[in-house]
Structure 1
């Protein structure tokens, strides 16, 4: 009698699932190839692909929208490929958003300092590099130009309350009129000294009021950048000023790059070589033979 051979379960192939898995991976790969091919749309190729897909699934071409061949602009756009936004556009968008934030900061400062703005003692302006707060020296300092006035610390306090939460660089500049300290024995040195002192003093107060110290810088510019070149008293009053500049994000980035990416080259003095004396000098006594030195060019 014929007996059916008993197969052991171990004879079955456990790798049969790989066939279905391979088919699935192949279809998935083909799908992504099609998706990648259509990521940049070309109208002619898109219409051809659409007709092919409809024919494959329905057996006949579908009703697809036809291109307007009579319209020249449509013909021009048939081969056009939609490209991603250029980096310049993204940069301009980022810069525009930062300028809007700077405008909001400037408006907030103007509201806080409105009393002195009406008195023409303070001006708030927005420029290419940031927001400038120009304060007349007579509001911050006494007649000696170095001692703070009674009202000065309060003005700086109001400014610091607005700016202490802004992670931006503040640049304090001291300016003075060229007629200041005319009776001093060395007026130019005095003007440089006073403007540097004024800027450093205001920066120190801002730091003590909560502004991050590493975001502060102070510089005295003496009379090198006058606001007015006139000779009248009003022009001299305008030139005697202190500017607190709130830098934009772009200016911050440029300043940080300049501070970190600069390379320094050490400069050493030229080597000094002793020139041999002539025969007559060498034969002379040592006390009578001068040492001749020369510097290499």
Structure 2
């Protein structure tokens, strides 16, 4: 005789998989929270945690790393790390990088003009304001001082091809020895006119080689800046020269700043002449 079951078997619950799914979603959410937390690490807290772990495994049991807060040198080092870089340092760093670029440019020009540098016809040097390409006038021009020599167009073509790649301002200066035109009626006027014409001629040729007009300027300085005061022929030949100066970023910025800060001075009464120069513009008729 079979005994009757006291309770009927319960039906299977087919929704139990939801519990596992919820646990999985919870773990996945925790995983992304941990990933986000580790992606934004605080370096100081991370260093403290790293020191604590190292001490726990290598140091004495129960020993914790001590933060040397009372050490003045430690505080000074931390403040030095957190302190922002001064503007003067950033300016010097930028200037240093520009000087290095200018030196590299000067080296390229010197290598390109090496045959004429060896003949003492051209000098490439780096100064405070930029790279100077000094060319003797007798090398660039014929005896009349205005007609280009046979090799001048080729040399200027090489220089222009190199400088058009540089986004820098270029100044062309004409210089002359004081003995030039000494026997003429107005030697000073002739020297000013000749040096200005030579500088303008070189600047115009550089413009035809791809350098924009806005980056070029030309000026004649006559005999005001000789490189030598000797009376021999070599010194006089060195004084007769044309200089192509490639300005540094600092010199270019200073020149642009001076142009922007120009102040117009209006005519005033006689009392304005007794005032300081800075107050002259305030006078009105």
* Fold in common (TM above 0.5): yes
1:94 aligns with: 94
- Give the match's secondary structure for 2:244: strand
- Give the match's secondary structure for 1:246: strand
1:148 aligns with: 148
2:219 aligns with: 219
**1:185 positional shift:** 0.9
After TM superposition, the structure 1 = structure 2 runs for residues 166-185 of structure 1, keeping only pairs within 5 Å, are: 166-185=166-185
After TM superposition, the structure 1 = structure 2 runs for residues 19-34 of structure 1, keeping only pairs within 5 Å, are: none
1:67 aligns with: 68
* Count of residue pairs the alignment pairs up: 217
After TM superposition, the structure 1 = structure 2 runs for residues 69-218 of structure 1, keeping only pairs within 5 Å, are: 74-78=71-75, 81=79, 82-218=82-218
- Give the match's secondary structure for 1:125: strand
2:242 aligns with: 242
- Give the match's secondary structure for 2:226: coil
Q: Which structure's residues are more often helix, by fraction?
A: 2
**1:78 positional shift:** 2.9
Report if aligned partners of 2:175, 2:220 keep a CA contact under 8 Å in 1: yes
2:253 aligns with: 253
CA distance in 2, matches of 1:112, 1:166: 16
CA distance in 2, matches of 1:209, 1:242: 18
- Give the match's secondary structure for 1:195: helix
CA distance in 2, matches of 1:186, 1:109: 38
**1:155 positional shift:** 1.1
After TM superposition, the structure 1 = structure 2 runs for residues 9-28 of structure 1, keeping only pairs within 5 Å, are: none
CA distance in 1, matches of 2:258, 2:113: 33
- Give the match's secondary structure for 1:174: strand
- Give the match's secondary structure for 1:123: strand
- Give the match's secondary structure for 1:242: strand
Report if aligned partners of 2:68, 2:74 keep a CA contact under 8 Å in 1: no
**1:145 positional shift:** 1.2
2:228 aligns with: 228
State the TM-score, normalized to the length of structure 1.
0.67
RMSD: 2.8
Q: 1:196 to 1:269 in 2, by over 3 A?
A: farther
- Give the match's secondary structure for 1:173: strand
- Give the match's secondary structure for 2:242: strand
State the TM-score, normalized to the length of structure 2.
0.70
Q: Where does the alignment leave 5 or more consecutive residues of structure 1 unmatched? A: 1-34, 52-60, 271-297
- Give the match's secondary structure for 1:148: coil
